[in-house]
């Protein structure tokens, strides 16, 4: 396995603005691109991004220091993430976390509270705990490698938001002998 030295956003130029310790960290008004930089950390990242947030194709193993809110889509695919802890609490569009090392989405609803679109997670070795996505407000659709689980979830995501759709989805997953997937 290749060892990467600690690499964060300090010194990078993003949208013609160099990131320093003094760069305002509250709101970034447009899209924020830090992809293709071999980053191992997104420290010094803004707290809120008005547009899309792109941190894909780096060497991230954690989303620590991630923005709390992203007004558009959130892209963290093709990293080495094993968890979505520290992901934004709110995403105004789609959430792309494909091609990582996620084996479970345990407690996803405790990290990602609200989104407005599709949750994309194919090309991950996910084997359990996806049902929390039913408790993420605005999650309209999911994309997973397991098409049986994906189809069951997408059927229930069309129901009104609330615990009833979670329970109905969980019941169908259990009936299909997909017990591990039905856990929060």
Query: For the residues of 78-140, what is the DSSP string, one character each?
Result: SS--S--TT--SEESS-EE--SS---B-TTHHHH--EEEEEEE--SS---B--GGGGGSEEEE
Is 6 within the bounds of a domain? no
Q: Is 4 a member of any domain?
A: no
| Under 8 Å between Cβ of 8 and 29 | no
pLDDT in tens for each of the 184 residues of the chain?
334 344 556 566 665 555 666 565 678 888 888 898 888 888 888 899 999 999 999 999 999 999 999 999 999 999 999 999 999 999 999 999 999 999 999 999 999 999 999 999 999 999 999 999 999 999 999 999 999 999 999 999 999 988 899 999 999 999 999 999 999 8
Q: Look at the chain and report how many structural domains it folds into.
A: 1
Q: Please indicate, yes or no, if residue 74 is contained in any of the structural domains.
A: yes
Residues 6 or more apart whose CB falls under 8 angstroms from that of 153 comprise 130, 131, 133, 134, 142, 144, 169
What's the gap between Cα 31 and its chain centre? Answer: 17
Range of the domain at 28: 13-182
Specify if 23 maps to a domain: yes
pTM of the model: 0.90
**In CATH, what number is assigned to the domain containing residue 164?**
3.80.10
Report residue 81 CA to chain centroid gap. 10
């Amino acid at each position: 396995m290749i060892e990467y030295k600690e690499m964060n956003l300090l010194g990078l130029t993003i949208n013609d603005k160099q990131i320093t310790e003094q760069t305002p960290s509250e709101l970034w008004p447009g899209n924020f691109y830090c992809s293709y930089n071999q980053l191992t950390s997104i420290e010094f990242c803004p707290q809120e991004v008005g547009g899309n947030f792109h941190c894909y194709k780096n060497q991230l193993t954690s989303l620590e220091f991630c923005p709390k809110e992203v007004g558009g889509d959130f892209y963290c695919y093709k990293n080495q993430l094993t968890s979505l802890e520290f992901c934004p609490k709110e995403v105004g569009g789609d959430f792309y976390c494909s091609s990582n090392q996620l084996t479970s989405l345990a407690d996803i609803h405790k990290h990602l509270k609200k989104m407005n679109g599709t949750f994309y997670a194919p090309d991950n070795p996910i084997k359990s705990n996806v049902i929390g996505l039913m408790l993420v407000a605005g999650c309209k659709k999911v994309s997973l490698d397991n098409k049986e689980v994906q189809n069951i979830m997408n059927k229930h995501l069309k129901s009104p938001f609330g615990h009833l759709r979670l329970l109905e989805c969980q019941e169908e997953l259990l009936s299909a002998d997909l017990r591990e997937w039905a856990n929060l």
